[in-house]
Every structure is written in structure tokens, then in C-alpha cells.
């Protein structure tokens, strides 16, 4: 029997556009592409999600790969502001969360994210309904590593077979299933289809 619904954050509860902040602040297209690749498509970004680098060290490494002082300034600005610009709460998903809570489910978050999100997770729609939140940087591993799911189950003392996971990446759903937590891939962003799948739980 499913007792708990576990959500990913980016592109599930929160709409995310990786280069939006660069589009906002950088006019020159070539510079914008360079900063986007250097900051948001970087190894350092992955290390931040894994909690293996401080923000200061990550930015220093990113800037070292850029050619001009202006590009380095823009990288710092975009890095500072990304969580304010790139993410937008999906209010319709907030309604889904509230409905599930009213049905008696436990509501949890398990997301690959850096420690910065610990200071601004209040933007997650329906956050008042959540029973627990785990970000990857806290435990120095990421989905779909089995260690990430094990940390999640242990922290909140949950039985994986009683949890149902919603994520936008197939590999993260597969990783969850390998740890005995079934799930639904929300890659298409279709909320009606998601609601239909949720309505079939415990049927």
C-alpha cells in the first residue's frame, strides 16, 4: 500500500529554465553562451549538487575558464541570481500536493540540489504540506545513486515499498525502482496524466 508521495523539485514542482538568468543579464550572444556553458553546464555545478564544493570555490573555477573580465563579472552575477530567475513555482502542482495531503498521504521531497536551496525552498508550491525535504548536497550524493534513496528512506524512516516517486528523468525513476520505490516519470509535464496515475494508487 502506498502511504507516501515523494516529489522531485526541478521541472516537477518548480519550472526550471537553466539559461534564463543569462538571457536576462547578458546581451552579447557569444558571451551568453560561454557563461551558460561555463556555469550551468559545468562539472562544478554537478559538484555543488553533490555538496563537494563550496559556492566560492565553484565560482572561482568557473571564472578561470572565461576569457574576459566582463564575462567573469557576468558569471558571478548570474551565479548569484540564478535561483531567483531560473525557477518558477508550478502552482497547479501545488494544488496536486494539497489534494494528496488531504487524502492522507505523507508528502516528501527528494531532489538533486545545492545547499543554496536550503535557504529558499519556501518557493516550492504547497511547501506547508511537506513532511520532509532532502537535497542531494546534504548527503554528498545524487540521484540516481542508490545511496541518495537510502539516505532519504533512513532520514524519514520510510519503507520504500510504501513510497511513490515523481521525477522528470527516467533514470531517476529507474534508480528508485531498484531501491524498491515505484514511481512515475513526469517528463511530459502533463498534470492530468499524473493525476490519473495517482488516482490508481491503492486501487
pLDDT in tens, 185-195: 999 999 999 99
pLDDT of residue 118 exceeding 90, the answer is no
Dihedral class, residue 90 (left if φ above 0, else alpha if ψ from -120 to 50, else beta):
beta
Predicted confidence (pLDDT) per residue in 1-35, tens digit: 999 999 999 999 999 998 999 999 999 999 999 99
Of 79, 100, 83, the residue nearest 36 (C-alpha): 79
Maximal CA-CA distance, the chain: 60
pTM: predicted TM-score of the whole model, two decimal places: 0.95
CB 2 within 8 A of CB 163: yes
pLDDT of residue 158: 98
The three cell numbers locating residue 78: 548570474
Distances 144 to 28, 147, 169, 180 between C-alpha atoms, Å: 36, 8, 9, 13
Task: Assign 119 a pLDDT band (cuts: 50, 70, 90).
Answer: confident
pLDDT of residue 70 exceeding 90, the answer is yes
Amino acid at each position: 500500500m502506498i502511504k507516501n508521495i515523494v516529489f522531485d523539485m526541478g521541472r516537477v514542482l518548480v519550472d526550471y529554465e537553466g539559461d534564463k538568468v543569462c538571457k536576462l543579464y547578458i546581451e552579447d550572444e557569444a558571451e551568453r553562451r560561454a557563461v551558460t556553458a561555463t556555469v550551468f553546464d559545468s562539472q562544478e555545478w554537478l559538484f555543488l549538487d553533490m555538496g563537494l564544493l563550496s559556492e566560492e570555490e565553484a565560482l572561482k573555477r568557473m571564472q578561470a575558464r572565461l576569457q574576459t573580465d566582463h564575462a567573469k563579472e557576468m558569471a558571478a552575477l548570474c551565479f548569484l541570481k540564478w535561483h531567483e530567475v531560473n525557477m518558477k513555482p508550478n502552482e497547479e502542482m501545488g494544488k496536486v500536493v494539497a489534494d494528496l495531503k488531504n487524502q492522507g498521504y505523507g508528502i516528501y521531497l527528494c531532489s538533486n540540489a545545492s545547499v543554496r536551496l536550503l535557504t529558499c525552498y519556501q518557493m516550492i508550491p504547497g511547501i506547508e504540506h511537506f513532511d520532509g525535504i532532502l537535497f542531494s548536497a546534504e548527503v554528498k550524493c545524487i540521484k540516481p545513486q542508490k545511496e541518495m534513496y537510502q539516505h532519504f528512506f533512513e532520514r524519514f524512516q520510510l519503507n520504500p515499498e510504501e513510497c511513490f516517486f515523481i521525477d522528470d528523468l527516467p533514470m531517476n525513476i529507474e534508480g528508485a525502482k531498484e531501491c524498491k520505490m515505484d514511481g512515475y516519470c513526469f517528463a511530459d509535464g502533463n498534470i492530468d496524466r499524473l493525476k490519473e496515475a495517482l488516482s490508481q494508487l491503492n486501487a
